[in-house]
């Protein structure tokens, strides 16, 4: 599902999906997809590419393809690392647009029973920054209590 499509299942409407994003970890890159509904964000682990040359692989393509067919509930249970963030726990969602020298960043912050969490995802080389999706979420009633923003760096190297 792309950022423009919507699907409804059991009183939960899928508003879009942040696709082709990764999290930079100490020894690897974790590929993540974020399914956005009017009730929660479903963060889906899509694969991992390790720093060691022998272990390099983008395993995210297969998962990205499957997410097209899955409901948010099916996506959530498809991998043990997947997690759901209820919109009531989401503090902020911020997109910083990419430049010639910097990748776009998607910053998510939420507070739950385990404390405060902050994730920074970076856009892959083939990914779309999805500014339109962020702008639609900022105007959506379900995100009225979430700080949704888009930033454009003033200088190309920021």
End-to-end CA distance of the chain: 31
**pLDDT at residue number 122:** 93
**pLDDT at residue number 4:** 44
Length of the chain equals 158
Q: What is the pLDDT of residues 95-104, one digit of tens each?
A: 999 887 888 9
pTM: 0.84
Mean pLDDT by runs of 10 across the 158 residues of the chain is 49 92 88 95 90 53 81 93 97 92 93 96 84 95 96 70
Q: What is the pLDDT of residues 80-96, one digit of tens each?
A: 999 999 999 999 999 99
- Which structure tokens are listed for 79? 């991998």
Whether residue 92 contacts residue 150, with contact meaning beta carbons closer than 8 Å, is answered with no
d(CA 20, CA 103): 12
12-151 in CATH: which number? 2.30.29.30
**pLDDT at residue number 154:** 73
**HSE toward the beta carbon, residue 95, CA cutoff 13 A:** 20
**pLDDT at residue number 63:** 76
- Which structure tokens are listed for 136? 């639609």
**pLDDT at residue number 156:** 57
């Amino acid at each position: 599902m792309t950022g423009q499509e919507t699907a409804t299942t059991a009183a939960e409407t899928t508003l879009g999906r942040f696709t082709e994003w990764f999290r930079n970890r100490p020894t690897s890159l974790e590929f993540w997809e974020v399914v956005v509904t009017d009730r929660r964000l479903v963060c889906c682990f899509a694969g991992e590419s390790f720093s060691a040359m022998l272990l390099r692989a983008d395993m995210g393509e297969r998962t990205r393809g499957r997410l097209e067919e899955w409901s948010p509930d099916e996506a959530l249970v498809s991998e043990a690392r997947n997690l759901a963030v209820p919109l009531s726990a989401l503090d902020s969602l911020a997109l910083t647009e990419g430049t010639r020298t910097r990748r776009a960043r998607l910053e998510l912050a939420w507070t739950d029973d385990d404390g405060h969490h902050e994730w920074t995802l970076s856009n892959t080389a083939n990914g779309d920054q999805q500014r339109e999706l962020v702008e639609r979420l900022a105007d959506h009633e379900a995100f009225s209590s979430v700080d949704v923003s888009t930033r454009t760096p003033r200088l190309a190297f920021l």
